[in-house]
């Protein structure tokens, strides 16, 4: 048996393992470009008004009173998550100065989408076992018991709790909103107060809420507009120190900002492009990040994002998307009816020996794709008594969608 005191070769040599790189000539601090990185307040661009409104809603917490609940809407990359987290952290500091304890729980409802998993997660993140003398177990409790623990946690560990429900539209069950908002009134909790911030990129989310919750959950609402290219440029400038001096060529940031502003001003995309460009430059051993790297990075960023949305979809959904992509490439128009897509789909399905679904089922699938933000669907009335026709258009360029789709071997035979 080997023992620890047998010296190994590597211990004897001062030399570093050549599998790894020990200097990074491109990045000085790549973490500044991580999406989850929370920039310092002075690096936040163009959101003074929105930060003020979030602060107004949370303000009562400074006195230990109940904050207003808040819904934050806006397209992807408009700073919803960032602003909600940062203002909540500022509140925490200010409340602390006033002798009031504020704790917050950040829940990604894309991951925790059932009532039980949300309550459990909130209780786990706020619980201090030394004070409550219990833990919140991963499994084994009924939903009602998780609530019981949560109420105890709240009264024992904090004065005010802010519960941030990110991607709230992914919740399977919105009952948790009602219970949290009624906890105090229903005497579930005694001294603690709760404020909920719900975040979504679906502005019509309230329409999809259950009637019971919609009517009982009163809240302020806030919409975040997309950034313009100048603001995106400034956001990137404020993270220039992610790179070593002189690495970014003059055009790099303005170009990344302009490309990210093309669809709608999306800061997530701008930052992803800049980080990917740095990685590309590093991989090809260049000392600077050029315009060319930025363009390649834009393509990679779009492919990655789409792959995340599409890769896990069933084959039938991919074939349907393929049909829409082909229609888009081969025609002048950009919008197609469900019927047109269905015809193209049956031809594609036949070409790869796949049994075609019914037209009705494909219409349902098109709605699901819409949900995934890959296509945009609108409904148009055909006139009185004629029902509605769905029209659909791709949100990304067909080349990129095709590139991602054809990574699936089962679709590969389609490209001659």
Ligand X SMILES: Nc1ncnc2c1ncn2[C@@H]1O[C@H](COP(=O)(O)OP(=O)(O)OP(=O)(O)O)[C@@H](O)[C@H]1O
> CB of residue 198 vs ligand X: minimum separation in angstroms?
12
SS3 27: strand
> CB of residue 372 vs Mg ion: minimum separation in angstroms?
16
The residue among 106, 122, 181, 198 whose CA lies nearest residue 154 is 122
For Mg ion, which is the closer residue by CB, 81 or 276?
A: 81
Regarding 271 and contact with ligand X (CB under 6 A), the answer is yes
Could you tell me which residues are beta bridge partners of residue 381? 388
Regarding 45 and contact with ligand X (CB under 6 A), the answer is yes
Build a one-symbol-per-residue string for 197-226: x at contacts with ligand X by CB under 6 A, - elsewhere: ----x-------------------------
For ligand X, which is the closer residue by CB, 45 or 176?
A: 45
Regarding 117 and contact with ligand X (CB under 6 A), the answer is no
Q: Which tokens belong to 201?
A: 């990129």
User: Secondary structure of 224-288 in the HEC alphabet?
Assistant: ECCCCHHHHHHHHHCCHHHECCCCECCCHHHHHHHHHHCCCCCHHHHHHHHHHHHHHHHHCCCCC
Q: How many residues bind ligand X (CB under 6 A)?
A: 20
CA torsion sign for 348, 351, 352, 357 is positive
79: partner contacted, choices Mg ion, ligand X, none (Cβ within 5-8 A by kind):
ligand X
> CB of residue 163 vs Mg ion: minimum separation in angstroms?
16
> Quick one: which H or E segment has residue 318?
helix 315-330
For ligand X, which is the closer residue by CB, 60 or 206?
A: 206
Regarding 35 and contact with ligand X (CB under 6 A), the answer is yes
- The Cα angle at residue 321 between residues 317 and 322, in degrees rounded to 5: 115
d(CA 108, CA 408): 29
Beta strands in 131-192 (DSSP E): 160-166
Choose one: 76-84, 108-116, 128-136, 273-281; the region binding ligand X (CB under 6 A). 76-84
- Residue ranges for the known binding site for ATP are 78-82, 227, 239
Choose one: 45-53, 63-71, 186-194, 245-253; the region binding ligand X (CB under 6 A). 45-53
> CB of residue 239 vs Mg ion: minimum separation in angstroms?
18
């Amino acid at each position: 048996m080997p023992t620890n005191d047998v010296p190994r070769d590597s211990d004897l040599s001062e030399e570093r393992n050549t599998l790894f790189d020990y200097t990074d000539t491109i990045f000085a601090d790549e973490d500044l470009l991580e999406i989850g990185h929370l920039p310092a307040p002075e690096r936040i661009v163009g959101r003074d008004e929105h930060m003020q409104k979030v602060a107004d809603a949370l303000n009562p917490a400074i006195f230990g009173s109940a904050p207003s609940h808040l819904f934050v809407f806006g397209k992807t990359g408009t700073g919803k998550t960032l602003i909600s987290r940062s203002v909540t952290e500022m509140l925490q500091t200010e409340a602390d100065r006033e002798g009031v304890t504020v704790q917050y729980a950040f829940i990604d409802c894309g991951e925790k989408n059932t009532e039980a998993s949300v309550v459990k997660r909130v209780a786990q993140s706020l619980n201090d076992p030394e004070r409550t003398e219990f833990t919140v177990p991963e499994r084994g409790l009924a939903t009602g018991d998780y609530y019981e623990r949560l109420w105890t946690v709240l009264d024992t560990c904090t004065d005010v709790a802010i519960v941030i429900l990110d991607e709230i539209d992914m919740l399977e069950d919105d009952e948790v909103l009602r219970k949290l908002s009624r906890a105090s009134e229903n005497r579930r909790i005694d001294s603690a107060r709760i404020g909920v911030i719900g975040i979504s990129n679906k502005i019509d989310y309230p329409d999809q809420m259950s009637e019971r919750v919609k009517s009982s959950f009163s809240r302020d609402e806030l919409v975040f507009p997309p950034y313009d290219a100048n603001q995106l440029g400034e956001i990137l400038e404020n993270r220039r120190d992610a790179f070593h001096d002189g690495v970014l060529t003059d055009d790099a940031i303005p170009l990344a900002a302009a490309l990210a502003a093309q669809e709608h001003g999306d800061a997530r995309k701008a930052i992803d492009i800049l980080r990917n460009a740095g990685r590309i430059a590093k991989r090809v051993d260049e000392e600077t990040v050029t315009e060319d790297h930025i363009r390649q990075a834009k393509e990679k960023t779009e492919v990655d994002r789409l792959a995340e949305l599409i890769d896990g979809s069933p084959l039938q959904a991919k074939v349907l998307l393929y049909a829409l992509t082909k229609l888009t490439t081969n025609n002048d128009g950009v919008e197609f009816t469900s019927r047109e897509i269905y015809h193209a789909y049956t031809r594609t399905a036949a070409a790869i020996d796949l049994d075609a679904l019914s037209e009705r089922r494909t219409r349902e699938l098109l709605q699901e794709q819409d949900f995934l933000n890959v296509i945009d669907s609108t409904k148009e009335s055909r006139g009185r008594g004629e029902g509605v026709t769905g029209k659909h258009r791709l949100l990304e360029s067909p080349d990129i969608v095709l590139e991602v789709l054809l990574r699936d071997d089962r679709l590969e035979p389609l490209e001659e």
